[in-house]
Amino acid sequence: MYDRESKTVSCLACFRDAPSGSTSAIEPVPVFSEPLVLDGVAGASARREHERRKSKRETRIREAYPLVGGLILALSDDPQSTKAWATGAQGEERLGGRLDTLVGEGVHVLHDRRIPRTKANIDHMVVCPSGVFVIDAKKWKGRPRLRIEGGLFRPRVEKLMVGSRDGTKLVDGVHKQVDLVRAALSSFGQIPVAGMLCFVEADWPLIGGDFTIAGLRVLWPKKAAGYVGQPGSVDAATAKQIHRALAMSFPVA
């Protein structure tokens, strides 16, 4: 409690014990709290986009075929372009659930963050003692592997393959996200920022299987969690500040 006449602050117990009539000029001290940091919900924007596309298709079919629209919908599937959003959301949700179990002193997570002035987003960011991890989650089938082309007479080229699918463009995308996060944290000095590509439900071998391509770790959720738990130079107070700075730079998608 603040006494304007004496310009002193007293605890509530002292205020209650004060003599009658001596508290007329005493008023509560305003308490200012920091804005709440919203960690976000993993896969939320992908899930919304899937529902939007699904609903739009249903409306279009029912309006075009009022009598048999329901039957057409029951006998047909959503196009692959629509189902891909649901698949992507499932991958982000699976990884996000595991990352959430790691949250504690000095470890913070942010999910589904929008990159300002773009339609793109960052799936997950983890702040921990060893720095910041920017993690892109994918639910692709097949075995991830590193393929090397060229070498002796041609330039050496690294490619990310998942089964027969070329996912090399994913690597470039994560590197761009890492650069944006580094720029957002420039005022903190040399905070380590690294990228990961996490394939959920891929055909990983029983032993080993993870690898690095262009400085980017390619792995599965449990392996990613192991890196988060490693020691480092970022203390708990700094981790909290970094968490807040990233939440302000990359809003919830």
Q: Using 50, 70 and 90 to split pLDDT, how confident is the model at 21?
A: low
What is the structure's pLDDT at 152?
Answer: 76
> Could you tell me the pTM of the whole model?
0.81
What does the buried/exposed string (b/e) look like for 116-143 if buried means 16 or more CB atoms within 10 Å of the residue's CB? eeeeebbbbbbbbbbbbbbbbbbbbeee
Note the pLDDT tens digit of each residue in 191-241. Answer: 999 999 999 999 999 888 999 999 999 999 999 999 998 999 999 999 999
Per residue in 147-185, pLDDT (tens digit) is 998 877 788 899 999 999 999 999 999 999 999 999 999
Q: What is the pLDDT of residues 47-104, one digit of tens each?
A: 999 999 999 999 999 999 999 989 999 989 999 999 999 999 999 999 999 999 999 9
- pLDDT category of residue 136 using cuts at 50, 70 and 90: very high
So where are the chain's domains? 1-32, 84-249
At 14 the pLDDT is 58
pLDDT of residue 125: 98
Task: Report the first-to-last Cα separation within the chain, whole angstroms.
Answer: 41
Beta-carbon contacts of 73 under 8 Å, excluding residues fewer than 6 positions away, are: 58, 61, 62
- Is the pLDDT confidence value at 139 over 70? yes
CB atoms within 10 A of CB 245: 17
